[in-house]
Amino acid sequence: MHTCQNCQEPVTAQFARVFGDNEGRVFSCPQCPDAGAASEREEKRKQVV
């Protein structure tokens, strides 16, 4: 099972394949709060890469 790196909610393998990076990591999902999350997700993505 994959989890969102932003909110730790589970996501399906298909969601991770479509919306995740090349390693299957997901940095945003439908459960993520919207307020300020976009910039935080980008920062987290940069730190992991």
pLDDT digits (tens, 9 = 90+) for 1-49: 899 999 999 999 999 999 999 999 999 998 887 645 556 666 777 777 6
pTM over 0.85: no
> Would you say 2 and 16 are in contact if contact means Cβ atoms under 8 Å apart?
yes
Burial of 28 from C-beta contacts in 10 A (0-12 / 13-18 / 19+): buried
